Amino acid sequence: MSFCPPKKILLVTNAFYPEISPRSYRATELAREFFRQGHEVVVITRFRNHDYRDFLLETPVQIKMWKWGRLPEVVIPQRNPWAFISRVLKRVLMILFEYPAIEDMFHVKKMLRREKGYDLMISFAVPYPVHWGVAWARNRRKKIAAKWVADCGDPYMGDVLDSFRKPFYFAYLEKGFCKKADFITIPVQSAIDAYYPEFHGKIRIIPQGFDFNLSSQRQVKHDREVPEFAYAGRFLQGIRDPEPLLAFLSKIEMPFRFHVYTDQPEYLRNYLDLLKEKLIVSRFIPREQLIKELSRMDFLINFDNNTTLNVPSKLIDYSITGRPVLNIKKEFSAESVTNFLKGNYSNRMQLPDPMCYHIRLVSEQFLVLLKTESLC
């Protein structure tokens, strides 16, 4: 690892520890690693009713929080005639106004009002109003940091997974932050076409990063009579859709146990009675614990996004476990599922070397940008 003199680093993010989400992991892991390397780290994030004393004993960074939730949330009642209307209203507000995340833009601008003198500032999206707030606060007279890196987990205007395209007026906000940022970081090369061509010279590919030890994460597989496999993540109707797989599993006589870790159990509800003890549904658990559970499985499931623009970060966790991965594509293959259930993994998904995602290497790639000029 190349030596880098101590720097003053500002991280601006909605998602942070102890939240369980890819963006939270991104910001939290970088905060920890930058501190381990001897840098001064300040985190600006939204308020959480959480006791950070243990976290700060391990990673004594400075955390500044904005009060979040002043805009009323649209609550969807359960099994209520108003549920459909509430669901539609919530969706419309999100599409047209980026509601309620839009308030992050105002909070971020206010929080940055007195910040200055940083070597590096990294803002994290989603949600994208975080970038918009930084762009609003930063100008030639008040740069806040020598270099600003806008880190994008998924595309915004170029998103192809959402069934509705973003309204045209959000393009002005996207182009605004892209113009002001010194660099734009994205996790995969294949996503570059989802961003405006005039900013491609600012784009750098920096994958998601985690601190891990492969020898401790990978567990020896024990032969078992009943195959066990798992999926961890969210669903998206018509894209990351479990329906074809569950329909097939409910018709076969083979024994198995399918573990699902998700915050969307409604996608599985129709099959709980059909599959009974064969389908075990759990809420999300902390990432370290999740990887240990996944490492015990015979194989893992990935529901393909059917696009190279959005690559799920769960594949990093999957690669760390060393378990075979069955990639479920839009054109469902019953033969592939049957082969995996029989222990034939010859058609397993090819995953990158997990060491590419080690947080030490990833943090270095951000620090290198301090010495780099963009091409725009």
Q: For residue 356, what pLDDT is reported?
A: 82
Cβ partners under 8 Å of residue 121, min gap 6: 9, 10, 11, 12, 134, 144, 145, 147, 148, 149
Kindly report which listed range (241-250, 304-313, 361-370) carries the lowest average pLDDT score.
Answer: 304-313
Is there a cis peptide before residue 100, judged by omega within 30 degrees of 0? yes
Structural contact between residues 115 and 83, judged by C-beta atoms closer than 8 angstroms? no
According to CATH, the superfamily of the domain at 214-356 is Glycogen Phosphorylase B; (3.40.50.2000)
Query: Residue 161 — very low, low, confident or very high, per pLDDT cuts 50/70/90?
Result: low
User: Is a pLDDT exceeding 90 seen at residue 99?
Assistant: no
Question: In this structure, what are the phi and psi dihedrals at residue 45, rounded to the nearest 5 degrees?
Answer: -150, 175
Q: Is the pLDDT of residue 163 over 80?
A: no
- For the chain, which residues make up each domain, given as ranges? 8-211+358-371, 214-356
CATH topology identical between 8-211+358-371 and 214-356: yes
Whose tokens are 């015979």? That residue is 298
pTM of the model: 0.80
What DSSP string runs through 322-349?
A: T--EEEE-SS--HHHHHHHHTT--TTPP
Average of pLDDT values for 242-263?
Answer: 93
pLDDT band at 98 (very low <50, low <70, confident <90, very high): confident
SS3 287: helix
User: What are the strands, taking DSSP E only, across 284-374?
Assistant: 299-303, 325-328
Q: Which of the four CATH numbers 3.40.50.2000, 3.30.830.10, 3.40.50.720, 3.40.50.2300 does domain 8-211+358-371 have?
A: 3.40.50.2000
How large is the angle between the packed helices 22-36 and 359-368, nearest 10 degrees? 80
Q: pLDDT-based confidence at 72, cuts 50/70/90?
A: low
Reported as a pLDDT band with limits 50, 70 and 90, residue 315 is confident
Specify the pLDDT at position 112.
Answer: 96
